[in-house]
């Protein structure tokens, strides 16, 4: 199996995991969609679990790129950068059919039965929250966010609200829960501190 075939398996696996979840991911469907034999699959992946974990890594590559593009955009104020990241995520969910966040979906499905997946998904969320917290800290330094706000607590609150809204978005097949949670979270953040920007 070529490297391109491996990438194709990961790409198809990402979509299937998003749509069907881990337990609904049929290996035969995956192999057929990718056009590769079972033996070739096991040349690169030790098991279905190993494959799914690598799909999560592939998903996080996209998340990293989105975080970099939005949070490092110095043409926008820090709070606007964070909101932009979530708005682009919302748009991506819409293009994909409102299946929401793969991390949230797998976390709900597997965290009670697989310690490996529980740790993997939580590590991903910790990373995302850390990046958001750093941008919130920058907003504080610029006087856009009250000094008494704890950036890490606020980042986790925003992420937790977002993940709940992503689930409702999936149920409704509509972006309204995502828009509502963005308006709520960014409206609820303590206003400007006394620091001069």
pLDDT at 192: 59
Q: What is the pTM of this model?
A: 0.92
Cα 106 from Cα 101, distance rounded (Å):
9
Task: Show the tokens assigned to 82.
Answer: 């964070």
**pLDDT, tens digit, for every residue of 27-48?**
999 999 998 888 889 988 999 9
**Domains along the chain with CATH numbers:** 46-188 (1.10.357.10)
Query: What per-residue confidence (pLDDT) applies to 37?
Result: 87
**Which 3 state secondary structure label does DSSP give 36?**
coil
Q: What are the residue ranges in the chain where pLDDT is below 70?
A: 1-3, 191-197
Task: Check residue 194 and give its pLDDT.
Answer: 44
């Amino acid at each position: 199996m070529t490297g391109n075939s491996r990438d194709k398996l990961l790409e198809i696996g990402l979509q299937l995991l998003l749509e069907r979840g881990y337990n609904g991911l049929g290996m035969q469907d995956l192999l057929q969609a990718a056009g590769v034999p079972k033996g070739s699959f096991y040349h690169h992946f030790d098991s279905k679990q190993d494959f799914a974990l690598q799909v999560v890594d592939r998903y996080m590559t996209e998340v990293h790129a989105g975080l970099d593009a939005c949070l490092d955009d110095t043409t926008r104020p820090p709070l606007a950068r964070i909101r932009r990241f979530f708005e682009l995520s919302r748009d991506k969910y819409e293009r994909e059919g409102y299946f929401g966040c793969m991390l949230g979906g797998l976390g709900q499905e597997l965290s009670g039965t697989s310690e490996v997946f529980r740790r993997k998904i939580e590590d991903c969320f910790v990373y995302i929250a850390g990046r958001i917290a750093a941008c919130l800290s920058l907003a504080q330094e610029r006087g856009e966010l009250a000094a008494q706000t704890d950036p890490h607590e606020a980042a986790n609150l925003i992420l937790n609200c977002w993940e709940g809204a992503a689930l409702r978005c999936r149920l409704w097949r509509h972006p309204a829960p995502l828009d509502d949670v963005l308006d709520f979270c960014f409206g609820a953040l303590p206003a400007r501190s006394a620091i001069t920007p």
